Amino acid sequence: MSAKTVYDKLWDSHLVKQNKDGSALIYIDRHILHEVTSPQAFEGLRIAGRLPWRLDTNLATPDHNISTDPLERAAGVAGIPDATSRIQVQTLDDNCDHFGIKEFKMNEMGQGIVHVMGPELGATMPGLTVVCGDSHTATHGALACLAHGIGTSEVEHVLASQTLVTQKMKNMRVTVEGTLGSGVTPKDVVLAIIAKIGTAGGNGHAIEFSGAVFRDMSIEGRMTVCNMAIEAGARVGLVAVDEKTVDYCRGRKFMPADKMFDKAAAYWRTLVTDKDAVFDTEVVLNGNDIAPQVSWGTSPEMVVPVTANIPRVEDQTDPVKRSGVERALEYMGLEGGTPISAVAVDRVFIGSCTNSRIEDMRAAAAIVKGHTVSTTVKQALVVPGSQMVKEQAEAEGLDAIFTQAGLDWREPGCSMCLAMNADKLGVGEHCASTSNRNFEGRQGNGGRTHLMSPAMAAAAAITGHIVDVREFVGEQS
């Protein structure tokens, strides 16, 4: 038997049928649904007179369109101001009730951003295939799952058949050895990777993140990294199983218990890449060299260390890159050659499926504790990724630290990551954001996103401009 990567093992164990044309039918173990990409899939089932293949694999929750404002939220679905959003959330509720799909409704304990909720409830387990109508589904790969986003017609296909017609990807390994410096987080690691390989670097590949930096990283940190695999062009990102993975799984709601857990864990421990396995593409970074990262432009590869200057058009030799830099600088209203740390921010957003877990909340709270949000910052939002994160943060008193410092403590949802709800940037506003995409208009028409870690965003809230968080870390130690 030839040596296999984790991805090879996951693929092989889910292969139902290999077709002659190169496509394959793979089995789907977990299907997570939300309000935006599911309504037409459910209607497709109704029109065709089909039922879900099985129910115990599906899990739903609203996250994209819901209000994070506590007052609007308290008014329930009827309190969602935008009619289209309200109808989508109501339709998800109705469809889940009708078909008998397990849903955590908007204000129910368990609800959260799909990619925060799945792992924390133990619905995501090592060795599973996990799909969702959302491109950041690779997040679940942190638990050694084969996880990726799908389109609405595929949502219907999975509901009806528990399978997906797809093709095997190539294997890529991104190895980061060494040790991260103080103030350098998983978000900085993934931004540095994207800066190195580019937004198309992972096209057609499943990326395995490997090396000392990921071994030392918490499971939540690995989720942040896998979450942004799609920003490097890869639909799948994953990390092999180790004892941290097994420990993370223990005791969660949908996980097996007792002897069954031990049996499962024994299998999970086989989900590591064989010593002699060959990757189609290898990328290596040194963790010691990574500084806190900030995006300056309109693509997730337009990233610099916080200590660096914004790139200059005249320094770009490649004509395509040159015009890209020129356009991005114009959209962002920035001047090449100036320090990124000189950029003032109008709003701060700490949240999203990338960075809204309890460790992110703790990291941000540690920075803002005892400080006050700069008077030049119009709004600083902290949006926990789930009801469970919110409850835990409040139990630790983090909400009080945020509100005392002048940040808004919100209800769980996707919030300002994607401008599909009321949390948006105004035209020309700069935002220190812990989300995953800095495309033009992503956080609101004309809005200007700077991607960074929760600690960096918290520091920016206090100083009113992009700042090296290590100045704060130094201050605290």
- Which residues lie near other proteins (CB under 8 A)? 13, 16-17, 25, 27, 29-30, 39-40, 43-44, 47-48, 50, 53, 55-59, 84, 87-88, 91, 102, 122-123, 125, 127-128, 153, 156-157, 160-163, 165, 254-256, 260-261, 263-264, 267
Minimum separation from the CB atom of position 441 to other proteins (A): 17
Q: Residue 22 CB, nearest distance to other proteins (Å)?
A: 15
Distance in Å, CB of 84 to other proteins, minimum: 5
- Residue closer to other proteins by CB (options 60, 459) is 60
Question: Residue 434 Cβ, how far from other proteins at the closest point, in Å?
Answer: 29
Q: CB 17 → other proteins: shortest distance, Å?
A: 5
Q: By C-beta, is 92 or 302 nearer to other proteins?
A: 92
* Shortest distance in whole angstroms from residue 40 CB to other proteins: 5
Pairing of strands 30-33, 129-132: parallel
Tokens linked to 87: 């109808």
Q: Closer to other proteins by CB, 50 or 98: give it.
A: 50
| Spatial separation of the C-alpha atoms in residues 473 and 183, rounded to whole Å | 6
CA angle 449, 411, 425 (to 5 degrees): 25
Lookup: tokens for 12 = 């092989």
Q: Are 159 and 45 in contact (CB under 8 A)?
A: yes
The answer to whether 237 touches 229, Cβ cutoff 8 Å, is: yes
Q: Rounded to the nearest whole angstrom, what is the least distance from the CB of residue 302 to other proteins in the complex?
A: 28
Residue number, 41 or 304, with CB nearest to other proteins: 41
Going by their DSSP bridges, the two strands 170-177 and 281-286 should be labelled as: parallel
Question: Is 140 or 450 the residue whose CB approaches other proteins more closely?
Answer: 140
In sequence order, what are the residues at sequence separation of 6 or more whose Cβ sits closer than 8 angstroms to the Cβ of residue 466?
A: 294, 306, 340, 341, 342, 343, 345, 432, 450, 452, 456, 460
The Cα–Cα gap between 319 and 313 comes to: 10
Residue with smaller CB distance to other proteins, 98 or 312: 98
Tokens of 106: 């908007």
Name the residue nearer to other proteins (CB basis): 125 or 416.
125
Output the smallest distance, CB 16 to other proteins, in A: 5
**Listed residue (104, 98, 203) closest to 159, CA to CA:** 98
Which H/E stretch holds residue 267? Answer: helix 258-268
Q: Is 414 left (phi over 0), alpha (psi -120 to 50) or beta?
A: alpha
- Render 308-352 in DSSP notation, one character per residue: SBPPPGGG--SHHHHHHHHHHHHHHT--TTSBGGG-B-SEEEE-T
**Integer Cα distance of 239 and 217 in angstroms:** 11
User: What amino acid occupies position 308?
Assistant: A
Q: Is the CB of 265 or the CB of 361 nearer to other proteins?
A: 265
In whole angstroms, the minimum distance from the beta carbon of 121 to other proteins comes to 9
At 307 the three-state DSSP class reads coil
Q: Which two tokens stand for residue 156?
A: 């219907």
Shortest reach from residue 91's CB to other proteins, in Å:
5
Closest approach of other proteins to the CB of residue 6, in Å: 16
Q: Which is nearer to other proteins, 379 or 421 (CB)?
A: 421
User: Considering beta carbons, is residue 40 or 135 the nearer one to other proteins?
Assistant: 40
Residue ranges of the alpha helices (H) in 369-463?
Answer: 387-395, 398-405, 454-463
Taking the complex as a whole, the smallest distance from the CB of residue 55 to other proteins amounts, in Å, to 8
Q: Burial, 234: exposed, middle or buried (Cβ in 10 Å; 0-12, 13-18, 19+)?
A: buried
Cα angle: 212, vertex 215, 221; to 5 degrees: 115
230 and 199 in contact (C-beta within 8 Å)? Answer: no
Nearest to 5 by CA among 193, 230, 245, 271: 271
Q: Which is nearer to other proteins, 123 or 393 (CB)?
A: 123
- Which is nearer to other proteins, 163 or 210 (by Cβ)? 163
